[in-house]
Structure 1
Amino acid sequence: MKIVVVGATGTIGKAVVGKLTDAGHTIVTASRKGADVTLDMTSPESIRAMYEELGHIDALVVAAGAAYFGPLETMTPEQNQQSIDGKLKGQMNLVLLGLDYVNDGGSFTLVTGIMMDDPIKQGASAAMVNGGIRAFVKSAAIEMPRGIRINSVSPNVLEESWEKYKDFFVGFNPVPAEKVAQAFVKSVSGGQTGQNYEVY
């Protein structure tokens, strides 16, 4: 299959690319820099340009999406909008603008996160967009045309990022990126739709 991996240069993205490559798929990487295709998820024009450049694909995987972290009592609407633009709208637009480019029976796999189920301090904005993506996936699945499937993967904090984020995720048990990547493979290669694969 021809699979586009958005956020391919990140920790999860690299693990996903490795797993899908090992499975024999043709991978096209997309990111802000250092990838096969330059993509700004916050820009519909950039998303359109990517699809026009690549043409038809079999699957699109998203392992990216910026969200705002900060105390609720000082969070501004503008800061919250960063999460909406960077993770919620960005992923939704990849689906909405990509429907005509994904082949029959293809798939989209988006990314959410554990904070929507297990909140942390300063994570309200990120939790909000994660929950929005999960709801979008569940609802969109019943309307996807031509047998196209859509799922999401909800990762825990990663072992590879634990030193950086451990003060925010006190008491959590981090998971390896390889385990998260396997959930993306399940979404791409399996038959389910409307699912949120939790890797907690």
Structure 2
Amino acid sequence: MRILLVGATGTLGRSVRDVLGERGHEIVTASRGGSDVSVDITDTESIRAMYGKVGEVDAVASAAGGVPWLPFGELSHQDVLDGVVGKVISQVELVRRGTAHVTGSFTLITGVLARDPVRTGTVASLANGAVEAFVRAAAIELPQRVNAVSPTVFTESVGAYGDLFAGFEPVPVRRAANAYVRSIEGHQTGQVYEIG
């Protein structure tokens, strides 16, 4: 399959690229820099241009989306907007603008905070929950399949985020990458694959 991988340069994106490449797929990478195609997923025009350059693909795998990590009392209106745009609207637009270019499936990224929140993660919980609700709803209407991968903290990221996830069992990033294989090569739609 020809797969567009968005967010290809991060910890998860690199692992997804490795796993899909090992399975013989042709991977077209996209990110802000260092990829086959440059894209800013918070900019709908950039998403449109990316699809114009890439053309038709069998699947889109999204491993991108940022949110602010701040105590609730310190969150500004702009912080909330940035998180919703950075992780929710950006991925909704990947699907919305991609329907004319994608023949098979979309796989989006959420996370454990949709179901198990932590301090300073309010916007992450909001965004993850919204993406998961979107996946379930969009699956009813889209001709393409759409799923989400929802991992806990990665073993490889414990040094950066471990204190926020006290008591959570970390998982190797490759476990999450394998869920992308399940989503892309499988037949289910409207699923949220919880990892860890």
Answer yes or no: same fold by TM over 0.5: yes
Number of residue equivalences: 196
Unmatched segments (≥5 aa) in structure 1: none
1:111-126 alignment to 2 at 5 Å? 111-126=109-124
Percent identity, aligned pairs only, is 47
CA displacement at 1:81 relative to structure 2: 0.8
Q: What amino acid is aligned across from residue 98 of structure 1 in structure 2?
A: G
TM-score (norm 2): 0.99
Q: Which residue of 2 aligns with 1:95?
A: 95
Distance 1:151 1:4 in 2: 15
Distance 1:79 1:139 in 2: 26
Q: Residue 143 in 1 paired to residue 160 in 2?
A: no
Q: Which residue of 1 aligns with 2:55?
A: 55
CA displacement at 1:21 relative to structure 2: 0.5
1:14-33 alignment to 2 at 5 Å? 14-33=14-33
CA displacement at 1:166 relative to structure 2: 1.1
Secondary structure in structure 2 of the residue aligned to 1:197: strand
Q: Residue 183 in 1 paired to residue 179 in 2?
A: yes
Q: Which residue of 2 aligns with 1:35?
A: 35
C-alpha RMSD of matched pairs (Å): 0.6
Distance 2:36 2:129 in 1: 30
TM-score (norm 1): 0.97
CA displacement at 1:66 relative to structure 2: 0.4
Distance 2:74 2:32 in 1: 29
Q: Which residue of 2 aligns with 1:83?
A: 83
CA displacement at 1:163 relative to structure 2: 1.1
Unmatched segments (≥5 aa) in structure 2: none
Q: Which residue of 2 aligns with 1:68?
A: 68
Q: Which residue of 2 aligns with 1:134?
A: 132
Distance 1:155 1:34 in 2: 25
Q: What amino acid is aligned across from residue 178 of structure 2 in structure 1?
A: Q
Q: Which residue of 1 aligns with 2:46?
A: 46
Secondary structure in structure 1 of the residue aligned to 2:9: coil
Distance 1:140 1:162 in 2: 33
CA displacement at 1:178 relative to structure 2: 0.6
Deviations 1:42-98 (A, max 9, x none): 000000000011111100000010011101112111111111111000000000000
Higher helix share: 2
Distance 2:136 2:59 in 1: 18
CA displacement at 1:11 relative to structure 2: 0.6
